[in-house]
Amino acid sequence: MARVAIVTGGTRGIGEAISLALKEIGVTVAANYAGNDERAREFSDRTGIKAYKWDVGDFDATQAGCAQVAEELGPIDIVVNNAGITRDGTILKMSYQAWKEVIDTNLGGCFNMAKATFPGMRDRKWGRIVNIGSINGQAGQYGQVNYAAAKSGIHGFTKALAQEGARAGVTVNAIAPGYIDTDMVAAVPADVLEKIVAKIPVGRLGQAHEIARGVAFLCSEEGGFVTGSTLSINGGQHMY
């Protein structure tokens, strides 16, 4: 029987690439999304992957959404916490709402998804959780105290939960992408983007499928000895 995965933010950008990569290795994928119904329908029609709508920052909605996926597709074996938003601004200009929304979605979503799925993984003695962090959670970024804090928190969350799951066959890892050629990065002004690329040793933006390959490995049987780790996929832009 095929493993069942939920990819949050799974209908576009990096999330879409992850959904497709998992499908290619034989996983039954549920792609979560929060807002764009038209985009989600187009994604499902094109890929054959069913899309489920809920806000991962909402605890009750996440519990209900995961229960629906489990009822329709089977027990959830794999979770990829990819959903993320930005509300950029310096702290002098950042509202509390902009802080809270980013923390609730980017970091709180990881907690909400784990509460809904980790107990079942542990009981069945197999599970894979992959949390999508960011180079900006590792190195910080001007104007992103909310985003950097949330993504940095993901890395600590990963290490702690990995210790709780290890003996039960549940691995928990993170991937920290650098600058990837997605809609989010495309919104960056051209002159700013040029400066960013100039700082990437390999001399280009990453591609979503390059992140997805890393996720697929960590979610596979072959990735079972890797847990509590962060895989940086950033073209050499940040090394430590």
Find the Cα–Cα–Cα–Cα dihedral 66, 11, 157, 210, rounded to 10°: 140
Taking residues 199-224, what's their average pLDDT? 96
27 Rama class: left (phi>0) / alpha (psi -120 to 50) / beta: beta
Predicted confidence (pLDDT) per residue in 32-46, tens digit:
999 999 999 999 999
Q: What residue spans define the domains of the chain?
A: 4-232
pLDDT number for residue 48: 97
pLDDT number for residue 171: 98
Which among 157, 187, 191 has a CA at the least distance from the CA of 174? 157
Say if residue 83 is exposed, middle or buried (CB neighbours under 10 Å; 0-12, 13-18, 19+): buried
- Mean pLDDT of the residues in the chain: 95
pLDDT number for residue 105: 96
Confidence of residue 233 (pLDDT cuts 50, 70, 90): very high
What pTM was computed for the model? Answer: 0.95
Predicted confidence (pLDDT) per residue in 9-24, tens digit:
999 999 999 999 999 9
For the record, the structure tokens of 51 come out as: 């899309």
Catalytic residue among 33, 52, 147, 179: 147
As a whole number of angstroms, the distance between CA 157 and CA 186 comes to 29
Taking residues 205-232, what's their average pLDDT? 97
Question: Could you say which architecture CATH assigns to the domain 4-232?
Answer: 3-Layer(aba) Sandwich (3.40)
- Is residue 147 part of the annotated active site? The answer reads yes
pLDDT number for residue 188: 81
